[in-house]
Structure 1
Amino acid sequence: LSLLSLIGGAFLPKIAIITIPLGIIYLAIGIGAWQENRKAAAAGMWVFLIAVVMRAASFAVFPFSWGKAAHLLLWGWIAWEYRQALKRWETESDEEADSKPLISIALLLKTPRYLEEAILAQIVQSAWGGNYTEGDDDDRDGFVVGKSPIFMVKCPQGMFLVHNHQTPYFYDIEETAGHFREKRLRHAIQEHQAWIAVDLITPFDTSLPREEYYPLIIRLIYELADEDVMAVFRPETGQINIWADDVLEALLMPQGEDQFNQVTPHPPVIPVSADDPEMIAAVTEAKRRWPEFLQAFQMKKDGDHFSIKAPVTSDGVTEYIWIEVTGLERDYIHGLLGNEPVALEGFHLGSVVEIPVSDLNDWCILSKGADPVGLFTTKAIEAAENRDKCAKEPTDDSTKE
C-alpha cells in the first residue's frame, strides 16, 4: 500500500502549488499504511476515491485519453486495496480481542453497595497487602481511582477494574434464569439487584497466562463479599454457584476458579409438577409407611437422625423442605429446618417449625452403620430433573427439596 500510494502520487498534475501539498499527503498516507495505521488507510481510500471521481468527471469536459483512463483505473484499484486492508486489519483485531479471555469474577448482590475510593483502597490493602492509602503516590504500591460504578486499581501485578453497579448483572434476567432448574440459583439470578466484579485489564507480566491472575482477583472478591452476596459468577466460562462458605473455600484453593461451581453448599431445590404421577405415588407410599417412622422414633438411639419433608409457607411462598424431627404428637410434627430456605421470609436453617401430619411429603431415618430408610420422593425428583434436561422447560407448580 505504501508503494501504491507513492505510485499513485506520481501521476499528479505537474503544478507546484498542487503537486507539493498533495505529494506530502500521499507520502504521509504511504508511511501510515506501512505502519498499518487505520486512519492513514481510511484517508488513503477516500483520497484515491475522490481522485477517481474527479478524473471521471473530467471526461465530461476534456477529450478522452487512454492515459487518463489508466490513471482512473490505477487510483480505483489503490482505493480498493485500501478498503481491503481496512477489512483485513479489522478482522485480525477482532480475532486478537477474541483470543484474550475475560478474566473476571462477579458477585450478585441483594442490595446495592456503597463504595468510594478510600473504602476500596482499604479493601485492596487488606486483600493484597502493601500500601495503597498512606504517603505520597511514589511511596505506595499502587492506587485506586474512580467512583461508582467503575474504579481502576493498579497494583504491582497489573491493572484491574472494580465494578459496583446498582443494576442486575444479566441483560435478560428471566431468560438467563430459565437455563437453571435448581431453585436457589434461579432465585439468586431473578432477585439480585446489584453486582460487584473484579476484571483483569492489563497484566504487567505478559509471559504469564492470563488465568494465573485469578487467585489475585479471588482474594479481592473475598474482601468485597458480605452478607448481601447471593451468588458468584465467572463470565469467562459461565460458571455460577450460590455464595456460601463451602464455595468460598473452593474458590480459595489452587485452581479454585475451575472447581467452585462443583460444590453443593445446600441440597438442590428442584421444581416438580404437583400432579407428577411418580411424585404422587412416592408421597402416598411415604404416608402409608409412616407408622414405621413413629415406631423407630420411639426407639431412637444416640446418633440416629429422623427427618421429614413437608411444605412450609411464608407470605404466600411455599417450599418443600427437610425438617429435623425433635418431637411427635398424634397430629403434629415438631422440628428444626434442616436446610436453608430459598425464599421463605422469616425462616432460616434451624428455625423451629410445627407441621401437621397431614402435610407429610416424605421421611428419612439415618442410623449409624445402616442404610437410610425412606427417601421415597428422591427417585421422582431425579426423574423430573432428567426430563427437564431434555425438555429444558422448568416448571413452578411446587418446589421439592
Structure 2
Amino acid sequence: MRNPVLAVAFVAALGYGAFNTLGHMPDSKPIAIPEAAPGALPMSPRPIKENVVAYSTADQAMQAAKKAGHETLPRFHQLIDAATPGTYTVKFPLTQNGATEHIWMQLVGFGNGKFIGLLADVPVNGNKYKMGDEMAVAEADVEDWMVRNGGDVYGGYTVRQALVDMPRDKAAQYGITFKD
C-alpha cells in the first residue's frame, strides 16, 4: 500500500554524473512504496532499487539536508565560477502522475536563474520524462547540488544523509570524501 507521507528520493551516490545503466521504466504509474522492514520504524527510509530510497516527508534529517543544499547554492556558484574540475549536478523535485520524486540533473549550463541540464537517472513515477531529457530548473527549486571529481564531492548534502542511513559497510563501498 502506498504511504502518502513518503516521497521518493534519488540517492544517486553512484550513477550521477555519468548516466547509470538502468533501463527506462515503460509503466506510466508511480512506483509503489514498500512497507517498512520488520522491526523498523514506520517512517524509516525504504530502499526501492539501486540509487532510489523512499524517505518520509517528515524525516527531519533529510529535510535539514535539503535545506542545507539549497542554502549553500552560493558556494556551488563559487565552484562553477572557479571552473572547479568535476561533474556538476543539482537535485530537484520532479512530479508526474501525482507523485513527486527528487532526482539529479547533470548540468550543461545556467542562465536567467535556471539550471539547464540532462536528467541523470531514470524517473520512477512514470514515463513522461526519461534519463537524458533536457530540463530547465529554477534555482529556487534546487534542493541539493554536487560537484564530483572522482571520489571527492563538494555539496551532496542529501547524499551525505543517505549514506548515514545506510549500513556502514555499504556506505563505505562508495568511497566518497565530502568537501565544503
* Rounded Cα–Cα distance in structure 2 between residues aligned with 1:280 and 1:110: 30
Q: Which residue identity is paired with 1:312? A: L
Partner of 1:377: 158
The 5 A counterparts of 1:47-86 are: none
Question: 1:299 and 2:90 equivalent?
Answer: no
Equivalence for 1:353: 135
Structure 2 partner of 1:315: 97
Deviations 1:273-309 (A, max 9, x none): 12222112212221222111112212326x6210011
Partners of 1:179 and 1:281 lie apart in 2 by 22
Aligned-residue CA RMSD in angstroms?
A: 2.8
Q: Does 1:335 align with 2:124?
A: no
* Alpha-carbon distance between aligned partners in 2 of 1:324 and 1:367, rounded to the nearest angstrom: 13
The higher relative CO (CA closer than 8 Å, separation ≥ 6) is in 2
> SS at 2:101's partner residue?
strand
Residue 385 of structure 1: how far off its partner (Å): 5.5
Cα distance in 2 for residues equivalent to 1:287 and 1:363? 8
* Offset of residue 343 of structure 1: 2.3
Is residue 2:150 matched to residue 1:285?
no
Structure 1 residues 304, 385: CA separation in 2 closer, same or farther (over 3 Å shift)?
A: closer
Question: 1:363 maps to which residue?
Answer: 145
User: Displacement of 1:374 after TM fit?
Assistant: 0.9
- Give deviations 1:260-281, integer Å, cap 9, x for gaps: xxxxxxx521111122221122
1:381 CA drift (Å): 2.5
Question: SS where residue 56 of structure 2 aligns?
Answer: coil
Greater per-residue helix proportion? 1
State the Cα distance separating 1:316 from its structure 2 match.
1.9
Question: Equivalences for 1:151-300 in 2 at 5 Å?
Answer: 177-178=34-35, 181-184=46-49, 267-300=50-83
CA deviations over 1:103-133 (Å, ceiling 9, x no partner): xxxxxx979xxxxxxxxxxxxxxxxxxxxxx
Contact 2:97–2:125 (Cα < 8 Å) also in 1? no
Tell me, in whole angstroms, the C-alpha distance in 1 between the residues paired with 2:89 and 2:144: 9
Show CA shifts across 1:350-394 (max 9, x none).
Answer: 1111112111111111236x72111111232245556xxxxxxxx
> Cα distance 1:352–1:110, how it changes in 2: closer, same or farther (>3 A)?
closer
TM-score (norm 2): 0.61
Q: Can you give the 5+ residue segments of structure 2 that lack an aligned partner in the other structure?
A: 1-24, 38-45, 168-180
Q: Which amino acid aligns with 2:65?
A: A
Q: What is the distance in 2 between the residues matched to 1:328 and 1:294?
A: 10
CA deviation profile, 1:56-91 (whole Å, cap 9, x unmatched): xxxxxxxxxxxxxxxxxxxxxxxxxxxxxxxxxxxx
Once residues 77 and 141 of structure 2 are traced to their aligned partners in structure 1, the CA distance between those partners, rounded to angstroms, is 16
SS at match of 1:348: coil
Q: Deviations over 1:124-178 (max 9, x none)?
A: xxxxxxxxxxxxxxxxxxxxxxxxxxxxxxxxxxxxxxxxxxxxxxxxxx8xx53
After superposition, where does 1:107-122 map in structure 2 within 5 Å?
Answer: none
Deviation at 1:319, TM superposition (A): 1.2
CA distance in 2, matches of 1:287, 1:345: 27
Judged with a 3 Å threshold, the aligned counterparts in structure 2 of structure 1 residues 317 and 345 are, in CA distance, closer, same or farther, namely farther
Distance 1:110 1:332, change over 3 A: closer
Runs of 4+ in 1 over 4 A off after TM superposition: 383-386
Contact 1:307 1:323 in 2 (8 A): yes
Q: Which residue is 1:390 aligned to?
A: none
Q: Which has the higher strand share?
A: 2
Identical positions, percent: 24
Aligned to 1:258: none
Q: 1:110 to 1:322 in 2, by over 3 A?
A: closer
Counterparts of 1:300 and 1:379 in 2: how far apart (Å)? 23
Structure 1 segments unaligned to the other structure (5+ residues): 1-108, 112-173, 185-266, 387-401
Residue 126 of structure 2, aligned match among 344, 351, 358: 344
Q: How many Å apart are 1:338 and its aligned residue?
A: 0.6
